[in-house]
Amino acid sequence: MKGKYRVLLFLFLFITILLSGAYLFIPTYFQSLDDRIRDLYFQFRGPEKTSDDIIIVDLDEKSIKELGQWPWERDKFAQILINLNNYGVGIIGLDIVFAEADKTSPDKFAKKWGLKKENLPNYDAILGDVIANTPTILGYVFDFDANNTTDGPQVPAIFIEKNKPDREFLPLAHGVLTNIEMIQENAYSSGYMNNIPDATGVIRSVPMCIKYDDQVYSALAFEMYRIVVDSKKVIINYSDAGVENIELGEQKIKTDRFGRLYLNFRGPAKSYKYISAVDVYNNTVDKESLAGKFILIGTSAYGLMDLRSTPMDSIIPGVELHANMIDNLLQNDMLQKPSWMELADIGTIVIISFMIIFVYSRFSLLILLVMYPVTFFVLMYGYYHLLFVEHIIINSLFPLFSIVFSLIGILAVNYMFETRQKNMIKGKFASKVSASVMEDILRHPDSNTLDGAEREITVFFSDVRGFTNISEAMGNAKSLIKFMNEIMEPMTEIIIQENGTVDKYIGDAIMAYWNAPLNVKNHADRAVTASLRQLHHLKQLNEKLRQNPEFVNVTKMADANHVPIVDIGIGLNSGIAVVGEMGSTKRSDYTAIGDPINVGARLESLCKYYNSKLNISNFTKNMLTEKYIFRFLDLVTVKGKLEPLEIWQVHDFDIEGLEPLFYSSKAELFKELHLYHEAIDLYKTARFTEALEIFKEVNGWENKSNTKVYAMYIERCEHYIEFPPENFNGVFVHTTKG
């Protein structure tokens, strides 16, 4: 085994070094695949509710059809802004650049044709004047390729780079395309519209700030948000790794180290409320629906080519990126790549590889086939939770690589080291029939599990009542076998669920035990729990059997006698028994023998005598830690035994709010049991006359839980009153098995 662990250690080191090296030194090679996995998370999550405070005024096909080909005359656009301002909107952002003068302006025509231009309107001046008198924020575009000397627009805010390292982390622009001066100089503020896709052409993040000519500028959506929250100062906080966050008043906006905000996309295209620009122009929009809102003016028209690709949709109007950004800022639920992300990713690779190689390698292949999918889905859920609840982006590709590589590795190692050993063990199992023993030996091939040993166990016997009548009513062997399988299947499943071992089926009876071959904590409680669960299941089982047309004869017989189709009696006993492999060299089984097993069988058969469902010995009762409803039945010596034994009936669990099994009122049952046990105490001390009075009193009740027991004790008391015993010790001698 030491040789195997050395190989596993080498495998662990190889996988962690390989994956960590690939993650650290060639990350861009795998980044697109990791991004696509994250896109699947977005698609699985689906659309989320968008903010009602964000509305898009759309230069759509309808507007172009009615107002003419874009670009429109600037007086038309000015009218749209005037109408929006009259609606009482909060702020307007333009996803548009007016980089050239309006060639349709009347004063331009007059100049071209040498005409007098007194009192002729200048559409650019009109638009500039409207922008100056409305809450309009202009858009512009930075150029990262060509260099120019154009000044950047003025922004009415102070940008502070705090603890900035020598290296530059914000994107650096080399040129800028702004609005013409007549329009730009009238604006209160403006923001850039740049959205930079990744290598796959998908936009997943937007730069919050860009540097140009040693000045910091803000994105259009960020600038609109800054103005609305009335913050005059923007603080960019740095660490050695880059940008930590961007501070705006009391809010710290989470970004990656390059100052990019990873968008928590709300949905596919048209997730936000759209209003056609022509409807605003014609003044046919509901005023109240726009009051105080963020307004973004952009286009969804295909001909204007302002379309982007996001994780939620391959074609989405670019203006919706600004809408998503504002929405994230309002809800403060943007995604982030924290500075400790790389350390967390490497740690995840190491932890997953270690867990799979050194923990999972201990399990059988069958268990691994369950555990690996479970591990995979747990990991996927963990990343889903981090992404959409904690809003943290962590690499999900390399942990998946860890799972796959570790799985392949340990399967190969297990094959090399265990094939020969398992073949030897399977040879032993050719004569074994106990699945639990087989699994135990496979897990511990060097143990002495099959050797005989004394163990404290709780033994279980159950028997189907009236089986002879059932078999006669069934009519044929095939139906009888199917009937028994319908009973044995759920009863066996309950035993297994409570960590019991089914030893054998004896016709219509089941023998099982707890605490062998594997240790079971509180095995007496588990046995009682399994027994009561079986009794609770009887109602459901009988209903299922009644609905099966093959069992109609048994159903008629049961209904005619006013009894359940299936009824069972259960006996439990605890004690030291001999457990181990027993039989011949050709046929053997792991089983238990000894006095506790014999007593357990007797207790089950005495269920008929005492008209009870579940009998346990005082040895089992003394080991119980949970709360149950008990009835003392008798102090007896069973057939073949000399020492007296206490027999107790377990009615049900004693759980708050749970009415006892087969009884309508817990309070009435407790009242009855109180009087009953008072009479039992009198009976044990030979005060038969007093005991008889209580037994008769309770037996006279209309609702009592066990008529047969009362009749038995009434008969005994009357007998002992007539023939007083000498040296009475309360022990009754059973001369038959049941």
CATH of the domain at 521: 3.30.70.1230
The predicted pLDDT at position 371 comes to 83
Q: Do 67 and 179 lie in a common domain?
A: yes
Determine how many CB atoms are found less than 10 A away from the CB of residue 216.
Answer: 20
Q: Do 132 and 25 lie in a common domain?
A: no
* Euclidean distance between CA atoms 49 and 330, whole angstroms: 13
* Euclidean distance between CA atoms 564 and 401, whole angstroms: 57
Angle between helices 341-354 and 397-429 (to 10 degrees): 10
Q: Do 265 and 360 lie in a common domain?
A: no
Per the prediction, the chain carries an average pLDDT of: 88
The predicted pLDDT at position 130 comes to 97
* Euclidean distance between CA atoms 314 and 325, whole angstroms: 18
Q: Is the dihedral of CA 291, 292, 294, 297 positive or negative?
A: positive
- Of 215-224, 534-543, 656-665, the one with minimum mean pLDDT is 656-665
Average pLDDT (553-578) is 90
Instruction: Determine the residue type at 706.
Output: N
**pLDDT over threshold 60, residue 73:** yes
Q: Which residues pair with 702 in a beta bridge?
A: none
Q: Do 465 and 451 lie in a common domain?
A: yes
- Give me 520's structure tokens: 């079971």
* Euclidean distance between CA atoms 254 and 390, whole angstroms: 12
The DSSP H or E segment spanning 203 is none
Instruction: Determine the residue type at 163.
Output: N
Is residue 704 a contact partner of residue 713, using CB atoms and an 8 Å limit? no
Q: Of 191 and 121, which is predicted with more confidence?
A: 191
The predicted pLDDT at position 433 comes to 36
The predicted pLDDT at position 430 comes to 38
Q: What is the pLDDT of residues 444-481, one digit of tens each?
A: 655 555 567 899 999 999 999 888 888 888 878 888 88
Average pLDDT (80-102) is 95
Instruction: Determine the residue type at 3.
Output: G
Residue 409: give the domain boundaries: 2-44+340-429
In a domain, 634, yes or no: no
Q: From residue 56, give the alpha-carbon distance in Å to each of 11, 103, 300.
A: 56, 27, 10
Q: Do 450 and 416 lie in a common domain?
A: no
- Give me 247's structure tokens: 């501070």
Q: Do 28 and 103 lie in a common domain?
A: no
3-state secondary structure 261-322: EECCCCCCCCCCEEEEHHHHHCCCCCHHHCCCCEEEEECCCHHHCCEEEECCEEEEECHHHH
Highest mean pLDDT among 115-129, 339-353, 507-521: 507-521
Q: What is the pLDDT of residues 277-304, one digit of tens each?
A: 999 999 999 988 899 999 999 998 887 8
Residue 648's SS3 state is strand
Q: What is the pLDDT of residues 412-434, one digit of tens each?
A: 877 776 665 555 555 444 333 34
- Of 85-94, 105-114, 721-730, the one with minimum mean pLDDT is 105-114
Domain boundary among 331, 363, 389: 331
Peptide bond into 207 cis (omega under 30): no
Q: Do 52 and 160 lie in a common domain?
A: yes
In a domain, 409, yes or no: yes
**pLDDT over threshold 90, residue 116:** no
The predicted pLDDT at position 394 comes to 86
In a domain, 222, yes or no: yes
* Euclidean distance between CA atoms 398 and 402, whole angstroms: 6
The predicted pLDDT at position 428 comes to 44
Residue in 470, 487, 463, 474 with CA at minimum distance from that of residue 544: 487
Q: Do 550 and 462 lie in a common domain?
A: yes
Residue 598's SS3 state is helix
Which pLDDT band holds residue 439 (cuts at 50, 70, 90)?
low
Q: What is the pLDDT of residues 574-595, one digit of tens each?
A: 999 999 877 766 666 778 999 9
Is residue 271 a contact partner of residue 53, using CB atoms and an 8 Å limit? no
In a domain, 38, yes or no: yes
Length, in residues, of the chain? 738
DSSP state of 731: E
Q: What is the pLDDT of residues 190-200, one digit of tens each?
A: 999 998 888 88
Residue 576's SS3 state is strand
In a domain, 702, yes or no: no
> Is the pTM of the predicted complex or chain greater than 0.75?
no
Domain boundary among 331, 366, 401: 331
In a domain, 140, yes or no: yes
- In angstroms and rounded to an integer, the radius of gyration of the C-alpha atoms of the chain is 41
Please report the DSSP string for 111-172 in residue order.
Answer: HHTT---TT---HHHHHHHHHHTTTEEEEEEEESSS---PPPPP-SSEEEEET--SS--S-B
State the total domains in the chain.
3
- Give me 403's structure tokens: 């799972």
Instruction: Determine the residue type at 250.
Output: E
Q: How far is CA 467 from the centre of its chain?
A: 45
In a domain, 638, yes or no: no
In a domain, 727, yes or no: no
Domain boundary among 592, 626, 660: 626
* Euclidean distance between CA atoms 593 and 581, whole angstroms: 11
Average pLDDT (61-78) is 93
* Euclidean distance between CA atoms 697 and 708, whole angstroms: 14
Q: Which residues pair with 628 in a beta bridge?
A: 653
Q: Do 56 and 35 lie in a common domain?
A: no
Q: Do 16 and 53 lie in a common domain?
A: no
6, 12, 17, 19 alpha-carbon torsion, rounded to 10°: 160
DSSP state of 400: H
Between the two ends of the chain, the Cα-to-Cα distance in Å is: 54
